[in-house]
Amino acid sequence: MSSKKLIYLPLGGAGEVGMNCYVYGYGPKDDERLIVVDLGVTFPDMDGTPGVDLILPDIAWLEERRDRIEAIFITHAHEDHVGAVGHLYDRLGAPIYARAFTAHIARGKMAEHGHSDKAVTTVSKWPETVTAGPFTVGFLPVSHSIPETSALVIDTPEGRVVHTGDFKLDSTPIVGEAWDPETWAEVAKPGIKALVCDSTNVFSPDPGRSETDIADNLEALIAEANGMVVATTFASNVARVKTLAEAGVRAGRSICLMGRAMRRMVEASVTTGVLSDFPSVISPEDAAQTPRENVMLVVTGSQGERRAASAQLANGKYLGMKLKEGDLFLFSSKTIPGNERGVIRVINAFSEMGVDVVDDQGGRYHVSGHANRPDLTTMHKLMKPQVVIPMHGEHRHLREHSKLAKANGVQSILAVNGTMVSLSGNAPKVAGYVETGRTYLDGSVQIGALDGIVRDRIRMALNGHVVVSVILDENDEPLGEPWCEIKGLAETGRSNAPLQDVLEEDLDQFLRRAGTKTRADDDKLEEGLKRIARKTCMDEVGKKAEVTVIVSRLE
């Protein structure tokens, strides 16, 4: 027994916000039985991942141990927790467990990849549990910004671990289960080995506020508006969608939901029973026929996403609706760092139409779904764990959360992705490191972040691309002149002649002067042609162009 160990290993989500994937193991070293908590995605950007469709955790470590995986548990249905189940299921093959709403979303994702419904099992909330090898796991309800969010109570031969998932302490969350400190205190009673805890809002100094807090502000804002009102928030924030819709109804407006994700999320909530009493909605066709001062649209696109409803409305007409002077557009949301440019683009487009845009105004029209600093302290003190392991945050969040835990009198370990922590015994400690990283979904293919494919794309974007084609006969003599194709470089440079002509002339000279030895050697020839092409581009247009050389030899 003493040779068996309890381990915790984040593969995604610890050292970043997004792409959550955590592993717990129990057993002899290198032969632990494993469970996986969450399989999320993160989103690409032009800066570092141009053209990539989605970013998934690199699960190579898990895949090599797939025979040891007992189960996959999904805490809630946000993309950064459930988004990768369809993409990665094949490579893991273990049964997936989630509560009804989350399971519904997960099954949709599995179906998109042709996986069976049966791989996903619906579990009721704690005290119901699932036994998975040496682990017994229960879904402990907690408030967040999507229905049926749950922490996991993970009972192990070495004691109880609580994995909070994403959470906030909201006693009046509009939709779903309120924060219930009594049940949590009961869970804590046997003693908590480790609290693996959300760190997102550790830098927010004030206690978090309830979803209920903003209802009156919203109603007042909508009641004052003279034209059409449009509000956007995350579609998955079903509570907010309801808060918005109810405020709109109280202000005397008919509600129309726009954007595929918005309708899908509300339908999923109704289907799975987590949402009731949602105000009746009208179709976009009916909305277009209703006087605009009596309509409120609730739309997707709070992050300025190019194809979402808000961006479409900003570009002109969307499903027959068109905003105009005197209308009001509300961001009932916060801009996620990195999305500022897209959001500002949408705001300015509305400004050009004469639409008044209102943002969250420092919390007036939005509350966060994550526990703030004082709420984390509440959680530490309620659970009294042996150790707090911060997760769900960038390094700065994890480090600050670790400091907070220590200030609260609790041990803490800062474990970023790839850090294996041994939770056995009285002193949890780092037991080793495993290689982790990111996998890119690129078109229909999964590629490694370090494969160099995206690096090549970034280089072409920064430097342009010159393709040189050369044909040699059987005696290594050039047949005709070298041919250049240029993409992404200025057409003329310093010498005022077309860059293509200058390149072809310089390359031709090189080719004719090069000795037979160089011309006979593919590598040498390619190297020489590349060097000349780069130099000419630098001289002419001041760019370090990417150069591809194609040497064709006739035999």
The Cα–Cα gap between 476 and 553 comes to 8
Closer to a copy of itself by CB, 469 or 518: give it.
469
The Cα–Cα gap between 19 and 201 comes to 17
How is residue 130 written in tokens? Answer: 């699932």
Residue 325 CB, nearest approach to a copy of itself (Å):
11
Interaction between residue 396 and a copy of itself (CB under 8 A) = yes
The Cα–Cα gap between 188 and 183 comes to 9
- Over the range 449-480, which residues count as b (16 or more CB within 10 Å of their CB) and which as e? beeeebeeeeebeebbbbebbbbbeeebebee
Residue 17 CB, nearest approach to a copy of itself (Å):
10
Q: Which residues pair with 432 in a beta bridge?
A: 420
Interaction between residue 463 and a copy of itself (CB under 8 A) = yes
Residue 444 CB, nearest approach to a copy of itself (Å):
3
Interaction between residue 554 and a copy of itself (CB under 8 A) = yes
| CB 22 within 8 Å of CB 75 | no
Interaction between residue 277 and a copy of itself (CB under 8 A) = no
Interaction between residue 395 and a copy of itself (CB under 8 A) = yes
Taking every pair of C-alpha atoms in the chain, what is the biggest distance, in angstroms? 87
Task: Give the one residue of 277, 337, 426, 523 binding a copy of itself; rule: CB under 8 A.
Answer: 337
The Cα–Cα gap between 421 and 414 comes to 10
Q: What's the distance, CA 506 to chain centroid?
A: 48
Residue 341: burial class (beta carbons within 10 Å; 0-12, 13-18, 19+): exposed
Task: Give the one residue of 185, 407, 450, 462 binding a copy of itself; rule: CB under 8 A.
Answer: 462
Task: Give the one residue of 209, 399, 524, 534 binding a copy of itself; rule: CB under 8 A.
Answer: 399
Closest among 435, 444, 439 to 417, alpha carbons compared: 435
Interaction between residue 437 and a copy of itself (CB under 8 A) = no
Residue 209 CB, nearest approach to a copy of itself (Å):
18
Interaction between residue 51 and a copy of itself (CB under 8 A) = yes
Closer to a copy of itself by CB, 127 or 354: give it.
354
Task: Give the one residue of 465, 524, 530, 534 binding a copy of itself; rule: CB under 8 A.
Answer: 465
Task: Give the one residue of 453, 478, 505, 508 binding a copy of itself; rule: CB under 8 A.
Answer: 453
Interaction between residue 457 and a copy of itself (CB under 8 A) = yes
> x/- string (CB under 8 A) for a copy of itself, residues 2-21?
-------------x------
Interaction between residue 341 and a copy of itself (CB under 8 A) = yes
Interaction between residue 410 and a copy of itself (CB under 8 A) = no
Residue 299 CB, nearest approach to a copy of itself (Å):
19
Residues 504-533 binding a copy of itself (CB under 8 A) are none
Which amino acid, residue 171?
S
Give the length of the chain.
555
Neighbours of 116 (CB within 10 A): 10
CA dihedral (313, 315, 321, 327) positive or negative: positive
Q: Which residues pair with 256 in a beta bridge?
A: 297
Task: Give the one residue of 45, 128, 285, 477 binding a copy of itself; rule: CB under 8 A.
Answer: 45
Residue 359 CB, nearest approach to a copy of itself (Å):
9
Interaction between residue 450 and a copy of itself (CB under 8 A) = no
Q: What's the distance, CA 456 to chain centroid?
A: 23
Residue 209: burial class (beta carbons within 10 Å; 0-12, 13-18, 19+): middle
Considering CB under 8 A, how many residues would be counted as binding a copy of itself? 64
The window from 61-69, 192-200, 245-253, 349-357 that contacts a copy of itself (CB under 8 A) reads 349-357
Residue 411 CB, nearest approach to a copy of itself (Å):
18
Instruction: Return the HEC string of 308-357.
Output: CHHHHHHHCCECCECCCCCCEEEECCCCCCCCHHHHHHHHHHHHHHCCEE
Closer to a copy of itself by CB, 306 or 317: give it.
306
Interaction between residue 501 and a copy of itself (CB under 8 A) = no
Task: Give the one residue of 280, 444, 474, 523 binding a copy of itself; rule: CB under 8 A.
Answer: 444
Task: Give the one residue of 352, 409, 426, 513 binding a copy of itself; rule: CB under 8 A.
Answer: 352
The Cα–Cα gap between 30 and 161 comes to 21
Closer to a copy of itself by CB, 166 or 400: give it.
400
Closer to a copy of itself by CB, 160 or 366: give it.
366
Closer to a copy of itself by CB, 409 or 480: give it.
480
Closer to a copy of itself by CB, 263 or 345: give it.
345
Interaction between residue 394 and a copy of itself (CB under 8 A) = yes
- Assign residue 338 a region: left if phi > 0, alpha if psi is -120 to 50, beta otherwise? left
Interaction between residue 491 and a copy of itself (CB under 8 A) = yes
Closer to a copy of itself by CB, 338 or 425: give it.
338
Task: Give the one residue of 447, 505, 524, 526 binding a copy of itself; rule: CB under 8 A.
Answer: 447
Interaction between residue 469 and a copy of itself (CB under 8 A) = yes
Q: How many helices (H) and strands (E) does the chain have?
A: 17, 28
Contacts for 471-480 with beta carbons within 8 Å, 24 or more apart? 471/552, 471/553, 471/554, 472/519, 472/551, 472/552, 472/553, 472/554, 473/553, 473/554, 474/553, 474/554, 474/555, 476/516, 476/519, 476/520, 476/553, 477/519, 478/508, 478/511, 478/512, 478/519, 479/554
> Which H helix or E strand runs over 229?
strand 229-232
How is residue 346 written in tokens? Answer: 């949408």
Interaction between residue 485 and a copy of itself (CB under 8 A) = yes
The Cα–Cα gap between 283 and 49 comes to 38
Closer to a copy of itself by CB, 270 or 479: give it.
479
List interacting residues with a copy of itself (CB under 8 A).
Answer: 15, 45-47, 50-51, 337-338, 340-341, 344, 347-348, 350-352, 354, 357, 394-396, 399, 442-445, 447, 451, 453-454, 456-458, 460-465, 467, 469, 471, 479-480, 483, 485, 487-494, 538, 541-543, 546, 548, 550, 552, 554-555
